[in-house]
Amino acid sequence: MAEREPIGVVGVGWVGLCTAACFAELGHHVYARDIVAEKVAALGRGEVPMHEPGLPELLARNAERLHFTTEMGEVLDNARLLFVCVDTPPTYSGDADLSRVEAVVAELGDSEDHAIVMKSTVPVGTGRAIQRRRERLGYVSNPEFLKEGSAVDDFMRPDRVVVGAGEHSDGFAGRVAALYEPLDAPIVRTDVASAEMIKLASNAFLATKISFINEIANVSEELGADVNEVARGMGLDERIGDKFLKAGLGFGGSCFPKDVSALKQLAGNSGYHFQLLNSVIEVNDLQKRRAIGKLQKHLGSLVNREIALLGVAFKPHTDDIREATALVLAARLQSEGAHVRVFDPVALENAEELLGGARIAGTALDALDGADAAVLVTEWPEFAELDWAGEVRGRMAQPVVVDGRNFLDREALEAAGFTYEGIGR
Ligand code: UGA
């Protein structure tokens, strides 16, 4: 095998670690730097600090090509393409906080041998602003489209790879595109601002699709239609597509909420009022609370009711709880006077301090024991496999289930005597 270009990764969070592991799998030596010494030490010992299917195996298999360090010098000495993977969380105003990106840029100097390859999601215009200050350094925008819970697969089988660069970084852009050649995916070669916009617009569009189907769900409930059937019928139209048409208790996670508000703010700052995105956000905020009304419909007042929340992670196969619906629900339920117990197969450790007065249960059955109602918040497969008709029915004080992801077998639950409430059905 021809010698593959070594690469640098700056910021070993979820994106950085997945990127590092996948490039190592493709045969590259990867020099990955993080400022948190304990994290670097743990990675050096082969410990994986997050839950992501397939990632531990990839890290173990490619350990000899993965070099974790706290030293930027080690990265700069060994690699020319520097993938910046630090996070850009929202500020109070909804704008993206670029302080971590700026701190990295300040460390990189201005050598014409190196190029920043921006994977972090940044506002449109960030690349241009950095290039103005670092004229010699190359700059390539290479946004990531990985989904938590299926990141390894997404990396290895991307729908497309976006590579944005100005003329002066043409050579670097070619080298970045070449890294992805083994994946046989369409490469979108474009300018930096368009690449930045492709990322934000893609996430905003997917979030819009979810808010749209959630509103169709809410109307379907009123009009007697079943949103699952509606989505199936709509999704077969190739122009619509069947993905991201699952109604539920709203979208969460570290990306959609943040990127929708970042794009809205960005538009606002440029003098354009992005009306549609306001609605996408508002619909999502209301949707997260929708389980409350459904519980009240069956239980009346929620004061002193025991409510079990199944799932805390913002979606299955991750331990990420950022913007998770369960956090909003737990707080709202408690302010209605309910007692909340929660269970999640992997996310409890992360959630404990954010769940306030909620009781952390050791198992799903423990959470359901004596509960007046259960709300399925995250569609972990193991929740469908519970013995609902037998053990769960026997343990719950009242057989009321709000299925916030239309995930459980409604007929089976109803046959077992449960009062079942889905979303949009
Ligand atoms: C999202 C995008 O899908 C990725 O392409 C992107 O790279 C990533 O953000 C990012 O910007 O880093 P992620 O947030 O990991 O990925 O998760 P998704 O699978 O997209 O789910 C986001 C939220 O939408 C979850 O809360 C999920 O439950 C919800 N969702 C998704 C629905 O409510 N309905 C659907 O049909 C699909």
pLDDT of residue 195: 98
Q: Which atom of ligand 1 is nearest to the CA of 243?
A: 36
Question: What residue has token string 């409510």?
Answer: 307
303 class by beta-carbon count within 10 Å (0-12 exposed, 13-18 middle, 19+ buried): exposed
Q: Which residues line ligand 1 (CB under 6 A)?
A: 121, 144-148, 203, 206, 210, 244-246, 248, 251-253, 255-256, 314-315
Burial 187-196 (b: 16+ CB within 10 A, else e): beebebbebb
If you measure from the C-alpha of residue 313 to the centroid of ligand 1, how many angstroms do you get, rounded to a whole number? 12
273-277 average pLDDT score = 97
Q: Residue 248: what pLDDT?
A: 98
378 C-alpha vs ligand 1 centroid, how far in Å? 13
Instruction: Say if residue 187's pLDDT is above 70.
Output: yes
User: Mutate which of 210, 319, 325, 378 to test ligand 1's pocket (most atoms within 8 Å of Cβ)?
Assistant: 210
Mean pLDDT of the chain: 96
Six-digit token pair at 309? 């929340």
In the β-sheet with 115-118, what is the strand arrangement from edge to edge?
A: 66-69, 30-33, 7-10, 81-84, 115-118, 138-141, 161-165, 187-190
58 pLDDT higher than 80: yes
> Ligand 1 atom closest to Cα of 207?
24
Q: Supply the CATH classification number for the domain 7-190.
A: 3.40.50.720
Stretch 114-131: mean pLDDT: 97
Burial class (CB in 10 A: 0-12, 13-18, 19+), 14: buried
Euclidean distance between CA atoms 108 and 176, whole angstroms: 18
Six-digit token string for 385: 């496999």
Does the annotation mark 255 as catalytic?
yes
pLDDT of residue 17: 97
User: In the chain, where does the domain assigned CATH 3.40.50.720 lie?
Assistant: 7-190, 288-421
Strand partners, 421: 402
Average pLDDT over residues 26-39: 97
Of 54-68, 90-104, 174-188, 361-375, which gets the smallest average pLDDT?
Answer: 90-104
**Residue 309's closest CA among 348, 282, 335, 283?**
348
Question: pLDDT for 292-323, tens place per residue?
Answer: 999 999 999 999 999 999 999 999 999 999 99
Which residue has 């046959």 as its token pair?
415
Q: What is the pLDDT of residues 211-245, one digit of tens each?
A: 999 999 999 999 999 999 999 999 999 999 999 99
| Ligand 1 centroid distance, CA of 147 (Å) | 6
Structure-model confidence comparison of residues 378 and 95, the more confident one: 378
Q: Whose CA is nearest to atom 11 of ligand 1?
A: 255
* Percent share of the chain, pLDDT over 70: 100
Q: Is the pLDDT of residue 397 over 80?
A: yes
Which residue type sits at 3? Answer: E
pLDDT score recorded for residue 196 = 98
What pLDDT does residue 109 have? Answer: 84
Alpha-carbon distances, residue 411 vs 45, 245, 406, 418, 419 (angstroms):
49, 22, 12, 10, 11
Look up the CATH architecture of domain 288-421.
Answer: 3-Layer(aba) Sandwich (3.40)
Tokens for 283, please give them: 């619909």
Asked if 246 contacts 406 with a C-beta cutoff of 8 angstroms, the reply is yes
Short-list 177, 125, 176, 418, CA closest to 298 = 418
200-286 belongs to which homologous superfamily? N-(1-d-carboxylethyl)-l-norvaline Dehydrogenase; domain 2 (1.10.1040.10)
Measured in degrees and rounded to the nearest 5, phi and psi for residue 39 equal -65, -45
Q: Can you read off the two tokens belonging to residue 95?
A: 């704008």
What's the gap in Å between 143 CA and the centre of ligand 1?
A: 15
- Above pLDDT 90, what percent of the chain? 93
- Give me ligand 1 centre to Cα 207, in Å: 8
Query: According to the model, what pLDDT value does residue 95 have?
Result: 85
Q: What does the pLDDT read at residue 203? A: 97
Tell me what pLDDT residue 92 has: 87
> What does the pLDDT read at residue 349?
87
The rounded distance, in Å, linking the Cα atoms of 89 and 389 is 43
Model confidence at 402, pLDDT cuts 50, 70, 90, reads: very high
Q: Check pLDDT > 60 for residue 1.
A: no
pLDDT value of residue 2: 65
Reported confidence tier of residue 247, pLDDT bands at 50, 70, 90? very high
The string of DSSP letters for 219-240 reads HHHHHT--HHHHHHHHHTSTTT
Check 18, 22, 85, 255 and give the catalytic one.
255
Domain with CATH 1.10.1040.10 in the chain: 200-286
Nearest residue (CA) to ligand 1, atom 9: 255
